[in-house]
Chains A and B, each alone.
Chain A
Amino acid sequence: MAKLILSMDNLVLKEIALTKERTTIGRKPHNDIQIDNLAVSGEHAVIVTILQDSFLEDLGSTNGTVVNGQPIKKHFLQNSDIIELGKYKLKYVNETVAGQAKAADFEKTMVLRPSSVRAATSSAAPAAAAAAPVAAPVAAAAAAAAGAKNFGDTVAGQSATAPPVAPPKPAPTPQKNAALQLLSGANAGKELDITKPLTTLGKPGVQVAVITRRPQGFFITHVEGASFPVVNGKTLDAQAHSLNDHDVIELAGVKMEFFLKT
């Protein structure tokens, strides 16, 4: 469950769990998060939470709402975002990203019943949407999911909230760049940088190979044509072949040298 950490001058004042569908922030006492400071408007902002996602919306406050240094009207909160209201700071923490990454079984696809979808989507759209009628089904959905987790991941057929899903981590891209230098043919001496995830070589219809750029390095694979590429004098088969610095590739009658760039 996501939470907010309220602080002022690096002093933590309070932690607030985002359990409600609408969490209001403002100076007046009826707000869920009351900040008694004149720089904060009576009804300053609201955080709408739909299952695992939270959206921050400024309610037309006098001094505005700032997230990570940028003034916002509406913002899709990401883990570690800093919300600033005057001197106060609210840090958004969505622990599910780090804490539950291992529990891959919990992120399986599930069915959401139309009734709870309608509640989740309609209530989130306009700031003016009345909170009370929709809060109940969402809370019920949360409870259903919490119960279901004990039985594994089979929640389809009930209304359910999502189990936490970590966003896909970008694969570590190879540190090095690579290039090909043509050693023979009309363009001998020319250099070709390999920047795309896929780079094709050769003549379509005659012989084509592709160099793929992967986290593990660079690979060459035969794509089409009767003859296969030759690397360092050895003819390849249909399998991908890992390329090393200064490998010499022969393809469609042209020789070229593969090298890594720093």
Chain B
Amino acid sequence: MTLSGALEVASCTDPGMVRSHNEDSIASDGDQGLVVLADGMGGYNAGEVASGMATTVIITELQQLLVKRLPYEIDAHSGQLVAHQLLHEQIAKANTSIYQAAQSQPQYAGMGTTLVVALFYDNKMTVAHIGDSRLYRLRGGELRQVTKDHSLLQEQIDSGVITPQQARQSQNKNLVTRALGIDPIVEAEIHDYDTKPEDIYLLCSDGLCDMVSDDDIGLALQTLSSNLKLCAQHLVQTANDNGGRDNISVILVRVLRDYPAPRSIVGKMMSWFK
């Protein structure tokens, strides 16, 4: 299955103004409708190793699997949507790889990574995320945060301890409550969303959203939507102009046209009788 010509993808990643390493990792395959972003953590270069493992495992495995499996179908055994099943399995696989490396190699002890993956198919996308890397959507001039962070701050906001405005002042920004590769088992949050032509999706690490306000992100996506590459570079540059305290990564996906699943008549008949 290919979505050739349905999506435009641009990305940019930068170590920022303070850090010497870039522990973020990004990967994308526009034709397969697949984008992955990870923000690693852990001493020395272990963060890079963890985020690199996460993006590599997920993108290469899914690229192969998507040749044979159709994400919009229902798996006969599990009754799950294939997209969900594939994401669950590959995230579990990436988790195991990172966890085992961290257990077996002392220099990687304690490494982990956040993750946000979007898989586009059949005028829809499935988003899986773990930690505080985010996915935003710009539709009709309005920017909306789609994912909800797995972080201490988000839990404090949810329980009413602090307001989202106060959260921007908080000193507890860097605490995630879920990460890939820390425990033997991790649960990703997975949801489906309908997409429309002209939508723009932004995947980013916290190095962007901690440094650049949602208003400025929305303005950039709206103003520079005709040049996604420039838009991605501009977002990174703005984060750096504001101090660039962390690694900054962005992936932008623009929906150019509808991309309904190519269902055959036979397939439709089959689903009719199920």
| A interface with B by C-beta (< 8 Å) | 50-53, 55, 76, 78, 94, 96-97, 104, 107-112, 114, 117, 120-122, 124-125, 151-158, 162-171, 196-198, 200, 204, 208, 210, 212, 214-216, 221, 223-224
Task: Convert B214-250 into 0s and 1s, putting 1 for each residue whose CB lies closer than 8 angstroms to a CB of A.
Answer: 0010011001101100100010011001110110000
Residues of B near A214 (CB, < 8 A) are 237, 241
Q: Which residue of B lies closest to A76 (CB)?
A: B166
Given contacts A53-B172, A111-B179, A152-B43, 15 further A-B contacts (CB under 8 A): A50-B161, A50-B172, A51-B172, A51-B175, A76-B169, A94-B171, A110-B41, A111-B176, A112-B176, A153-B42, A156-B182, A157-B102, A163-B174, A164-B171, A165-B173
A165 touches B171 (CB 8 A): yes
Residues of B near A76 (CB, < 8 A) are 162, 166, 169-170
B19 touches A104 (CB 8 A): yes
Task: Choose among B43, B160, B223 the residue that contacts A151 (Cβ–Cβ < 8 A).
Answer: B43
A51 touches B171 (CB 8 A): yes
Q: Which residue of B lies closest to A106 (CB)?
A: B174
Main secondary structure of the interface of B (DSSP, over half): loop
What class of interface size applies to chain B in its complex with A? Answer: 35 or more
A162 touches B224 (CB 8 A): no
B241 touches A107 (CB 8 A): no
A156 touches B111 (CB 8 A): yes
Residues of B near A216 (CB, < 8 A) are 241
What are 20 of the A-B contact pairs (CB < 8 Å)? A108-B23, A109-B114, A109-B176, A111-B175, A111-B176, A111-B182, A121-B161, A151-B43, A156-B42, A157-B182, A162-B174, A163-B174, A165-B172, A166-B171, A171-B242, A197-B219, A200-B223, A208-B226, A210-B230, A224-B226
B160 touches A51 (CB 8 A): no
Which of B54-62, B120-128, B151-159, B255-263 forms part of the interface with chain A? Answer: B151-159
Task: Choose among A125, A157, A170, A197 the residue that contacts B110 (Cβ–Cβ < 8 A).
Answer: A157
Q: Which residue of B lies closest to A97 (CB)?
A: B171
* Chain B proximity of A249: nearest CB distance (Å): 17
* Chain A proximity of B155: nearest CB distance (Å): 5
Task: Choose among B155, B172, B226, B241 the residue that contacts A171 (Cβ–Cβ < 8 A).
Answer: B241
Q: How far is the CA of A80 from the CA of B219 in the complex (A)?
A: 34
A117 touches B224 (CB 8 A): no
Task: Choose among A78, A166, A168, A221 the residue that contacts B211 (Cβ–Cβ < 8 A).
Answer: A168
Task: Choose among B39, B112, B155, B172 the residue that contacts A111 (Cβ–Cβ < 8 A).
Answer: B112
Residues of A near B238 (CB, < 8 A) are 197
With A52-B172, A162-B174 as contacts: A117 and B111 at CB distance below 8 Å: no
| B interface with A by C-beta (< 8 Å) | 18-19, 23, 39, 41-44, 46-47, 102, 109-112, 114, 131-132, 152, 155-156, 159-162, 166, 168-179, 182, 206, 210-211, 216, 219-220, 223-224, 226-227, 230, 234, 237-238, 241-243, 245-246
A198 touches B182 (CB 8 A): no
* Chain B proximity of A63: nearest CB distance (Å): 26
Residues of A near B241 (CB, < 8 A) are 171, 214-216
Task: Choose among A97, A120, A167, A171 the residue that contacts B152 (Cβ–Cβ < 8 A).
Answer: A120
Residues of A near B110 (CB, < 8 A) are 154-158
* Chain B proximity of A62: nearest CB distance (Å): 26
* Chain B proximity of A155: nearest CB distance (Å): 7
Residues of B near A96 (CB, < 8 A) are 171
